[in-house]
Amino acid sequence: MTGRSLFGIRLWRLLSARRPDFHTSTEAMTADLARRAAVPRAELAAIVKGTAPNPDVLHKLGPALNIHVADLFVIAGLPVPPELASAWPTTPWNVGTIIRYAMALSPQRRGRLNDAIRSLPIEPRTEPTADDGFPDEPGALLIRLMRNRNIRPNAWLLAQVGDGPYVSHSTVGMLGRGRVAVTPQYVTAFAHLLGYAPTDMVALTGVGPVYEQANPHPASAELAALAWNARRLTGAQLAHLVHLLEDTRRLRPSTFDGGQDGQRDSTGPG
């Protein structure tokens, strides 16, 4: 693949996977995308063929593809601009902690949690994320997209939300360095955790087919959206949310139950 942008390859596979029928060519899909994104058709065709995209084009393509612009930078193998980047890494809590609590909440409480997250002010990142040194391969893409939500490699979360394989946290982390083989089960699980259609994630990684036996969490899409809303929160803000979630867990009045719901939610620490 030397001399050809990985973004072009990934975009071509994505457009091919999204064809409404076998009679629709990928070239027709490219032309339609160029029109909807207001990108010159010749420029987008060149990108599909291997020319590296510039940031302005990625900003236009994001809404047209229904993919977060920050994720498109990751998919293109480019640094995410500070104004779009997640707060990764935060300590001691990360967004995976919040998702772990949210999994056990009722839909109503998850809605209140999401409202609380969205009400918090965003503190813009001032420094770019450090280079991870990963090879630009499928495993690295998955881990980078996870970090773009400020979620640490977490095997338990991947299994519970996306029905991923039962492995250790370190095994999931080694996907980034290419030391663990990326399988269809991993790809499908990451899709559910990150809020992607499994067919799209198969196209982006080039690893498939979709793992049809997957049994993801019934609220996986809602949890993925919540994770995206929380991705730019600071460690202090995440700690504040954890405190409120612990209030709910202990049946004390909190932001999430309004002091009226007497049912206990069983969660574990993140």
The residue with tokens 């980078």 is: 144
- Please give the average pLDDT of every successive group of 10 residues along the chain, which has 270 residues: 78 97 95 97 95 96 98 96 95 96 93 94 85 94 98 97 97 97 98 98 98 97 98 96 81 46 35
And the tokens for 242? 């954890």
Report how far residue 41's alpha carbon sits from residue 47's, in angstroms, rounded to the nearest whole number.
10
What is the rounded radius of gyration, in angstroms, for the C-alpha atoms of the chain?
19
For residue 111, give every residue at least 6 positions away whose Cβ sits within 8 Å of its Cβ, in sequence order, or none: none
- Closest by CA position to 245, among listed 90, 112, 153: 112
Question: Quick check: bond before 209 cis, omega within 30?
Answer: yes
Report how far residue 261's alpha carbon sits from residue 268's, in angstroms, rounded to the nearest whole number.
20
| pTM, two decimal places | 0.90
Report how far residue 159's alpha carbon sits from residue 100's, in angstroms, rounded to the nearest whole number.
11
Amino acid type, 141: L
Asked whether 142 and 190 are in contact (CB, 8 A), the reply is yes
- Domain boundaries of the chain, sorted by first residue: 6-66, 80-270
